[in-house]
Amino acid sequence: MVRLSEAPASIEFGHFSIFPHRRQLFADGRPITLGGRAFDVLMALIEASGAVVSKDELLKRVWQGRIVEENRLAGEITALRNAFGADRELIRTVAGRGYQFTGEIRLRSSAASDQEVSDAAAAVASSMTTAGSGSPRPDKPSIAVLPFANLSGDPEQEYFADGMVEEIITALSRIKWLFVIARNSSFTYKGQAVDVKRVGHELGVSYVLEGSVRKAGGRVRITAQLIEAIGGAHLWADRFDGSIEDVFDLQDKVALSVAGVIEPTLQAAETARSANRPTTDLTAYDLYLRACEIFLSSARQIPEALRLLQQAIERDPGFGPALARAAVCHFRCSVDDWSDDHEADGRTGTDLARRALKVAGDDPGILANAALALAYFGEDIGAMIALVDRALKLNPSFARGWHVSGALHYWAGLPDLAIEHCETSLSLSPRAHVGTTQF
């Protein structure tokens, strides 16, 4: 067994090498980008020295007791196999048991020559200027918005803080010169003590936005600070106070302020959201936020998310995001076989999606969600792909939109484009665990 406590200078197999202390994988001397969880899975498999490691053991080891769904592990295995390319069989699935690393491992002693270690360190340092352990650094300003702390004193308000962050991510994503990491990746840091430099390294971003939300009575306070990820310098901090009725304006103010700090010579007006708010009913908006939190947290709770969305739609029948998300819930109930009446789900999902499109305007999320549901329920696949193309033109940083586009192209029998678009989605959301829960 390879013991990490014995700290080999490098671990080699085939034309790959790993520098454990630097958490870096190389192929023929070139750095290979890996997410932090994927790296931990790889090291756990290597430590087993060819023995099969059960899924439960990997989940326990890598996620340290946190409750996560098994498909998250499958996503990390897929990421590793993609990194290995033609050598993807280095990780073998053992049906009913787990996974096995099949490579022939060679250890380089920590007593290796000073020159070898120096050269390795230089290579890693060089790679860090262009890539994090999870993603290459894009050639334009890039930012990750971390989950905001809920300071409301009520754990039940966690969904509100998360919804606030998602809205800020959406607003920033409308800036075409700004590369914005998707929610699925930035929220993997939720509940952790965050080292901003590590986040910047792992996600490959130049800037990190963090903050807090306090909701009490009819008032909301958002505090935010923007940090330069490589050096850790604090570039900006501010506080935004307002009534609950002003929640959309508060989101816009945060996004506009961040954009202005990152690139003061560019106009940040692109973040200004449409004057037509998704709803004027704040109770409906609250129900929608609760539903989205449930939808994203567990696939098994989608029926409960649908129940909340139905309540929101009853209050505001023209609430576009809720209509589109409810249509996707019906799609998920059908595809995951939770439906008692697949035909009824198809009829209701189709109706909801069509209603959503009537009020979609230029909302990329509504367009993509409606297109996904309608494509599954039998609408013309070419027309649905055109809808998603429009969404991506409106928001090129829309990671989930690229993923939906990949699914639709796959259904249309265009696997090459499907792969290309899914890879684009992963570049925007490098820590996402792609699967049906992504929808």
pLDDT digits (tens, 9 = 90+) for 297-320: 766 788 888 999 999 999 999 999
The whole-number pLDDT of residue 326 equals 95
Distance of CA 205 to the CA centre of its chain: 14
Token pair listed for 18 = 């790993």
Query: What is the reported pTM?
Result: 0.47
Q: Is the distance from CB of 308 to CB of 291 less than 8 angstroms?
A: yes
Q: What are the residue ranges of CATH 1.25.40.10 in the chain?
A: 282-438
The whole-number pLDDT of residue 333 equals 85
Q: Confidence band (pLDDT; 50, 70, 90) for 61?
A: confident
User: Domain 282-438 adopts which CATH fold?
Assistant: 1.25.40
Q: Is the distance from CB of 392 to CB of 401 less than 8 angstroms?
A: yes
Phi and psi angles of residue 152, each rounded to the nearest 5 degrees, phi first: -75, -10
Q: What are the residue ranges of CATH 3.40.50.10610 in the chain?
A: 142-271
| Helices (runs of H) and strands (runs of E) counted in the chain | 16, 14
Cα(163)–Cα(11) distance, integer angstroms: 42
Token pair listed for 66 = 């946190």
Percent of the chain having pLDDT more than 70?
78
Task: Please check the confidence at residue 5 and state whether its pLDDT lies above 70.
Answer: no
Once rounded to an integer, what is the mean pLDDT over residues 332-347?
80
User: What CATH number was assigned to the domain covering residues 142-271?
Assistant: 3.40.50.10610
Higher pLDDT, 50 or 267: 50
Q: Does domain 4-128 have CATH number 3.40.640.10?
A: no
